[in-house]
Chain A
C-alpha cells in the first residue's frame, strides 16, 4: 500500500508551523499506524532532514503517550483505541491522510506533533488522590466493596490520561478526564473522607489551567480510547453540587458512616 501524508511540522512553541507532504511507500496492511510513521522517519533521517517528532511509548494502548489527530479525529477513525492500536488495514490504498497534534490552549506544542500535557498532572496534584501514608493500612478485606461498585470504579479508573477528550472538544474541556478520576474515588468508601474537597480542588485546578467548559456534545466520549462514558460527567456535576452542600455545613446523607471534612 502507499499513502500521501499531510503532516503538521512546527519547530517549537514560537514557530508558526505548516503542513509538509510526505509519501509513505511499501506499507503493509499489517503495519500499525505508528510503524508506518517510523518508516517515513527512517527514510528522512539519512537525508539529514529531521524526522517527524511524535509521542509514543508502550505501543499497546495503555500508557497514553501517543496523541495524533488523524483526518481530524483524535486517535483516528476507529473507535475505542489509541493511535498506536490503529492498523493500516483500516485505510484504503492510495489515500491522503492528515496528521495533526492535539490542539488546546492548555497543551502548548513542543515540536511537530508533540504537546505539553503537564496541565493534566497539575489537576491530579490538586486533589486526585487519597491522602494516606504508607504503612498501617487495614486488611484489604475489612472494607467490603460490592462487585458492582468495584466494576463501576474500574470503568472510571481505566482512563489513560491521553487527553484525546480535550483535543476532540471544541471548548478544549477536560471534564471527562476530571470526571473519570473523581468518579473512581467517589465510588469507593476509601475515597469518602476527602470526597468534597477533592472535587472542589480538581475543578478549580481545571479552570486555572485554561481548559474550557463542557458543551454537552459528547465528542469526548466518542474519541475516548477506553470508552469512558459521559455518565461520569453527570457524576462529576453531582459530586460538585454535593460538595457545595457539604461546604455549606448541611448534612448530605442521613447517617453518613464517615465524617467528611469540607
Chain B
C-alpha cells in the first residue's frame, strides 16, 4: 500500500531547505566508499548527480543507452537556463522566480519544492561558469540574459541556441573527471529493463548490454533514475528517437507511484510535419518569440503569399488576445491559441496546420545581422528542413509534444514511494505543476543533480542497512527472469507488422484524444482502442534477429511495448482530472471565451497512481496546500 508523505520541512518558506540540510543525517566519509549507488541516465540530471556523488566519495555505477554519456537528450535543449541572479536589475528575485514558476504551473506544484529550486538556481550558474560553460557575455565581460515566455524579467542565461549542449558538456566533463579518478564506473550502450526490490527497498536494476545482448543484474544501496520524459508516447515529438518511458514505467510496475501523467507539454513552435513517414518533429526555440510575431490572415480563405498580405489584414492573435504578455505567453497558452486558430480554418501551409512566425519587423528595425547573431543556427535548421529562407518569408510553426511535467512521484527528498529509489530531472513530477515555463527544465535537472539529491540521498543511506543483495540473490534472479521472458516473447512473436507501425498508431490515438484538447468521450474511446492495439501488437509484431546480438529493432520493440501500456495510464489520469489546468485542457471545463477553468476545490492535489496487477491503477491524492501564494486565475492578458 502506497502512502504519500511529502516530508516537507516545517517553518517559513525561505528556511525550509536550510532546515532540512541541517536535520539530515550525514554518511561518514569512511563509509561512503563502501556504499554503492546506481545512476541511470546521463542527461543534465544524471550526469551532474553521478559526478557529484562520485566526488563525495560514493562508489557510483552509471548507465546510459547511448554510445556516450554526452549524447543524452538534454544536449538538444536550445534556448537557455533560468536563474534569479537579477543581473539586469529589472526586479527579479528568488521570490519572483518562485512565483512565476508556481503560476506558470497553474498552481499544481508544491510550494516548498519550487522555492528551493529558485533558491539554488543562482548556484547553478556559478557552478557552470566554473566548469567552463561559455555563456553569452556582454561587451563589458558580464553574463548576458534574454527573456523567455511567461515572465516579465530577463533571467535566462544562454549559449547561442545550444545551451543544453554546453550545460551537458559541462556536466559530462565533470563526469569524465570522476571516471578518470575511478569514482564512477560508466556503462554506455546499456538499457535498464527492470528494477530489483529487496524487502521493500530498491536494491538494483536489470540491464541489457546493447552490444552483446547479455542480461545482467546490478545491485546497489540506492538507485537514482534520471531517465527523462515520455513525450515519445505520442510517436511524433521533439524528443530524441531513443527517449522512452521504460525505466520509469518498469519502476511503476514495481511499486513506485506515477504522478500526474496527463500533464504533458505541447510546445507551440515546432516545424509542422511535412509527410507521413516523418520520424520526429523539430523544435524552433521559444527564444524566437522574443522577436518573432505570430500571425495568420484575418480572412478565412486568404491564400495570398504572406508578404502580399498587408498588416491591416493580419491577425496577430497572441498580441490581440493577451496584450500583457503578447507573443511571450507561456507554452500551453500559445499552443492552445494556435490550435484554435487552425481549428477555425485560418491555419496556413499544407493542411492548414500552421501559423506564421514572422521576423520582418525586427529585421527592419535592427537588421538581419542582429537576427543572424541571435538565432542564426535556428534559421539554418529551418531552411534545411523546409527549404525556405526565414529571413525572406515567415516561418511556419505548429505545436508538438515536447516535455512531460508528470513523472514518478517523489517526496521533498526526491525519493519515490519505493525507499531507496530516487528520481531526478524530467523523470520526476515535482516542480513544474501542470505546465513548465521555458528555460526551467535545464534549471531543474541541474538543481536536482548538483545540489539537491547529493544531500538528500545521504540521509537515506545513513539511516538504512548496508548489506547488499548479491547478483544471484533470488530477487535479482526473478527480475532477470521477468526481463528475459518478455524479450523472448517479443522475439518469438511471428506476425507481419513492424513495431513502428504500432507506435505510429498509438501516437495518432493519443494525439487525437489526449493531446492539446481532451474530452470525456475522446478519452473513453482511447481507453477502448489502446488495449486492443496492444493485443494486436503481441499477436503480430515482428522482431527479426536474436537477443544475443546488437539488435536495434528489439530495443525499439521493447520500448513500444511499454508505451502501449503506459498510454493507457496517461488517458486514465486525463479522464480522472475533470478540470482544465496548465497543459491539461478538458473541453468540458472552459469559459465562454475558451480559457481553461481550473477547479481548486476538487483537484488541488497531485494524482499519484499505484500499479495493480489485476485491475485499474489505484489513485492516491497528495493535497496541495498554498500557504504563501494565493491560487488565482492565471491571466496573461
Decide if A256 is an interface residue (CB 8 Å cutoff): no
Return the CB mask of B128-161 against A: 1 if under 8 Å, else 0.
1111101111111111000000000000000110
When distances are taken between beta carbons in the complex, the residues of chain A under 8 Å from B69 are 121
Q: How far is the CB of A115 from chain B (nearest CB, A)?
A: 9
- A58 and B134 within 8 A (CB): no
Decide if B632 is an interface residue (CB 8 Å cutoff): no
Q: Which of B185-237 contact A (CB under 8 A)?
A: 186, 188, 211
Decide if A203 is an interface residue (CB 8 Å cutoff): no
- A144 and B67 within 8 A (CB): no
Return the CB mask of B254-280 against A: 1 if under 8 Å, else 0.
000000000000000000001101111
When distances are taken between beta carbons in the complex, the residues of chain A under 8 Å from B551 are 50
C-alpha gap A64/B240 in the complex (Å): 12
Give the contact stretch, choosing among A32-40, A215-223, A237-245: A32-40
Set B66, B381, B451: member contacting A57, Cβ < 8 A? B66
- B387 and A65 within 8 A (CB): no
When distances are taken between beta carbons in the complex, the residues of chain A under 8 Å from B274 are 28, 30
Q: Which of A49-81 contact B (CB under 8 A)?
A: 49-51, 53, 55-65, 78, 80-81
- A131 and B76 within 8 A (CB): no
When distances are taken between beta carbons in the complex, the residues of chain B under 8 Å from A64 are 68, 70-71, 75
- A38 and B277 within 8 A (CB): yes
Decide if A169 is an interface residue (CB 8 Å cutoff): no
Decide if A94 is an interface residue (CB 8 Å cutoff): no
Decide if B290 is an interface residue (CB 8 Å cutoff): no
Residue on B with the closest CB to A129? B173
When distances are taken between beta carbons in the complex, the residues of chain A under 8 Å from B135 are 140, 150
- A35 and B498 within 8 A (CB): no
C-alpha gap A65/B381 in the complex (Å): 17
- A118 and B552 within 8 A (CB): no
In order of increasing CB-CB distance, the 5 nearest A-B pairs are A144-B141, A129-B173, A137-B130, A137-B126, A153-B134
- B166 and A63 within 8 A (CB): no
- B498 and A46 within 8 A (CB): yes
Residue on B with the closest CB to A133? B55
Q: List 19 A-B contacts (CB under 8 A).
A: A45-B498, A46-B496, A46-B498, A53-B550, A57-B71, A58-B75, A58-B241, A62-B75, A63-B76, A110-B550, A116-B67, A121-B176, A125-B176, A129-B173, A130-B132, A134-B51, A134-B127, A150-B135, A154-B159
- B278 and A158 within 8 A (CB): no
- B67 and A157 within 8 A (CB): no
Return the CB mask of A90-124 against B: 1 if under 8 Å, else 0.
00000000000000000000110010111011001
Asked, given contacts A118-B188, A150-B134, whether A62 binds B165 with beta carbons under 8 Å apart, the answer is yes
Q: How far is the CB of A6 from chain B (nearest CB, A)?
A: 21
Q: How far is the CB of B238 from chain A (nearest CB, A)?
A: 8
- B496 and A144 within 8 A (CB): no
Decide if B454 is an interface residue (CB 8 Å cutoff): yes
C-alpha gap A147/B87 in the complex (Å): 16
Decide if A87 is an interface residue (CB 8 Å cutoff): yes
Q: How far is the CB of A96 from chain B (nearest CB, A)?
A: 21
Residue on A with the closest CB to B239? A58
When distances are taken between beta carbons in the complex, the residues of chain A under 8 Å from B451 are 134-135
Decide if A161 is an interface residue (CB 8 Å cutoff): yes
